[in-house]
Chain A
Amino acid sequence: MSFTALPNILPLRVLIRPTVHRWLSAFALLLLALFTSARPSFAQLTIEIIGGGQAQLPATVLPFAGEERFPHHMSEIISADLFRSGQFKMGSPGDVKPYPAEPTEVKFGYWKEKGDQMLVIGKVSPRPDGKLEVRFRLIDVVKQAQLAGYSYAVTVPQLRATAHKIADIIYEKLTGEPGVFGTRIAYVAKTSERFELHVSDADGFNSQFILAHREPIMSPVWSPDGSQIAYVSFERRKSIVFLHNLKDGSRRILANFEGSNSSPAWHPDGKRLAISLSRDGVAQVYLVNADGTGLQRFTNSNAIDTEPSFSPDGKWLLFTSDRGGSPQIYRMPAGGGEAERMTFEGNYNTTARYSPDGKSFAYVQRNGSRYNVAIMDLASKQSLAITDNSLDESPTFAPNGKLILYSSVVKNRGTLAAVSSDGRLKQRITAQAPDVREPAWGPLQSNRQ
């Protein structure tokens, strides 16, 4: 896919950023799965939004000229992405046909009167080389200014990815935060006969399994560049850590020592991982190079130490340990040093995951017989429960930190759910697979094809 910026042929104005309070803008961004107008035959996941509806930005995506000739309707995908983020109030296209495809065709008076403030227009047309040209512009109706405009040369199968890319640009222009519509997720699905490791677009489309086996698969995590997934597979009837290359499907063993090999976590440099091994007795955290060399013990306790998570700057590791008698979250400098206990409320706190900005971490806390996802702010050490089902687990941050995907057990069935990082906006996600668990959100991929 190649793209070029479209010249701004409207009077240039200052980029508008909504003056939304940081916390307010946080409960945005709901991802995953498809919107009702999308084609359910492709759907792996569907979502239901609970709560939300605060301080939404108005936006109207008009049908792109020529899009109806292709299986993926650009304007519908873009509209669905923005809607699901919870940040936008989507306007209807109205009845002025043909819809404007170029800025010169926009009748500003009409849109102003209709109450639209942000307009997205575009066009899909064949190129001489057999590819398609997709053009779009984001227009501020009130100021009569173009906020963004690009042209892409793509193939038909790339249309959906292009639509997500356009939605990401619009999201970033209007909220000031990177969009995550073009990212991917991984999750484990369990059918009656086997386990499958799936990778899909963040909206649930294009789901494919990259591994299937009758023995369990667990703990998938994306490499920082999105090219590999590390996971634990029991295909040899014991837990072994594998690295799986998503480009060519090749796999190699990262750790296969005596006892359990598990809990891979990537260092942000992508060259090292932390893992948990029981080779020297009880499970301890080790560091290892991605090529399997340089194994080095990181924790030294006579208790279970597992579930490592690197801080985004690579300087710290959070992990779960029951060295104090019950599982709790601890933090240690990545270069070694004293372990500091982070959680004190309750007798079961596990599965810490650093937020992308490194200022907080998500974890799972037990409260009575319930297990819920909570967030702890590292500066204040204040903790907030953000989910309220009975068995919530495996929190994973969207790469822009706005949303947390997790799994929840409903009627003995694992489902995925998402919650804004302030807990205000929740989405339930229904998968077609009977049992879905352990979601892992992939990184931002600026040059994804």
Chain B
Amino acid sequence: MNKVWIGVAAALLVSACGGKGFLGGNQAAVEQRDLFEKQEAQKKEAEAAEQKTKEEQIRKEQDELKKQLAAQQAQAQKDTASGQNGKGATGAATGGATTGAGSTDQGEQPVVTPLPATTLTEQALKETMAAMNDPSNPLSRRSVYFGYDSINVEGEYSQVVEAHAKFLLEHPEVKIRVEGNTDVRGSREYNLALGQRRSDSVKRAFSLLGVPSAQIESVSFGEEKPRIQGDTEDAHQENRRADIVYSGKDMAQ
């Protein structure tokens, strides 16, 4: 599979290193450690540089993005009018159309609009990602928090899901991962299953808003990747979380 999942911001770089470094011997271990340290150093440099340019460009990019999205919408309307399907992402486009019909309110006249099947270019996706990190953008919130032993998406987090659902419906070629997590107390295996219930619960919330399930992969890290270490209630709260992680199959690397 060439598909590389791209997390927003730092996850982008992390995933670029993913899948490497499977070595069995101690000699190999030393080599790997060296390699790893080099990668880490390079990563830090890259991150620092990226942060600078990001801050400068965010506004500019947002404007550009708006233009692009408007252009895409116009293109989509053209496609619809002429009965054409865009290139690529056919499965997602079909799914989008089906779900779009299913989620229409009863009283209203059903308006079935096939969603644009255009593919965000690498550049466009990068810009989208940058725009997502602007705190004024509702898409900048990508975590859903849960109560102890709870799997329910509640309150403000429903709005987080709604904002992303809107974006996903507009961009059927974009795929996301929902990564479920738990606090570090209790059984690791039970927590892995609980984290999966959390990510599945977020996925279900998306489905109820009409987002095709093909656009969402739900996984769990259980208690294995706590965002905050330690045995405090603050840490536990922060770790009971599902993250919405953007990916793009057209992103190289």
List the interface of chain A (C-beta within 8 A of B). Answer: 193-194, 208-216, 218-219, 232, 234-239, 249, 258-260, 262-263, 276, 278, 281-283, 304, 306-307, 320, 322, 327, 348, 350-351, 364, 366, 371, 390-391, 393-394, 409, 412, 438
A278 close to B193 (CB less than 8 A): yes
Contact check: which of B21, B23, B219, B231 meets A412 at CB < 8 Å? Answer: B231
CA distance A58 to B185 in the complex (A): 43
Residues A249 and B221 in contact, CB atoms below 8 Å apart = no
Q: Is the CB of A235 within 8 A of B19?
A: yes
* B24 lies within 8 A of chain A by Cβ: yes
Q: In whole angstroms, what is the CA distance A377 to B109 when docked?
A: 66
Contact A214 B21 (CB under 8 A): yes
Query: 6 closest pairs, A vs B, by CB?
Result: A216-B224, A350-B187, A283-B193, A238-B219, A304-B193, A260-B196
Please measure, in the bound complex, the distance between the C-alpha atom of A350 and the C-alpha atom of B192, giving whole angstroms: 13
Given A209-B29, A249-B24, A259-B218, answer yes or no on A351-B187 (Cβ-Cβ < 8 Å): yes
Give the distance to chain A from B238, nearest Cβ to Cβ, in Å. Answer: 15
Q: List 30 A-B contacts (CB under 8 A).
A: A193-B36, A193-B40, A209-B29, A210-B24, A213-B21, A216-B224, A218-B189, A235-B19, A237-B5, A237-B177, A238-B217, A238-B220, A239-B220, A239-B222, A259-B219, A262-B192, A263-B192, A278-B193, A278-B196, A278-B220, A283-B197, A304-B190, A306-B189, A306-B192, A320-B187, A327-B187, A348-B186, A364-B187, A391-B185, A393-B186
- Shortest distance from the beta carbon of B43 to any chain A beta carbon, whole Å: 12
Interface residues of B (CB under 8 A from A): 5, 15, 17-19, 21-26, 29, 32, 36, 40, 177, 185-190, 192-197, 200, 217-222, 224-225, 229-231
Q: Are A283 and B36 in contact (CB under 8 A)?
A: no
Bound Cα distance A394, B188 (Å): 9
Verify A216–B221 contact, CB threshold 8 A: yes
Q: With A and B bound together, what is the CA distance between A232 and B5 in angstroms?
A: 20
Residues A260 and B219 in contact, CB atoms below 8 Å apart: yes
A211 touches B190 (CB 8 A): no
Report the bound CA distance from A243 to B196 in whole Å: 22
CB distance from B149 to the nearest CB of A (A): 8
A-chain residues with CB within 8 Å of residue B17 when the two chains form the complex: 214
Tell me if B188 and A218 are in contact (CB < 8 A): yes
Which residues from chain B contact A212 at a C-beta distance below 8 Å?
21-23, 29, 32
User: Is B187 a contact partner of A262 (Cβ separation < 8 A)?
Assistant: no
B-chain residues with CB within 8 Å of residue A394 when the two chains form the complex: 188
CB closest chain-A residue, reference B25: A208
Residue in chain A with minimal CB distance to B199? A259
* Cα separation A351 to B40 with both chains bound (whole Å): 37
Q: Which residues of A contact B192 (CB under 8 A)?
A: 218, 232, 239, 260, 262-263, 283, 306
Chain A residues with Cβ under 8 A from B231's Cβ? 390-391, 409, 412
Question: A258 contacts which chain B residues (CB < 8 A)?
Answer: 217
Q: Known pairs A212-B29, A283-B196; list 10 more (Cβ under 8 Å).
A: A208-B26, A210-B24, A213-B21, A214-B18, A216-B221, A259-B218, A276-B193, A306-B190, A351-B187, A371-B185
Q: Contacting A282 at CB < 8 Å: which of B18, B40, B197, B217? A: B197
Cα distance A202–B204 in the bound complex, in angstroms = 47
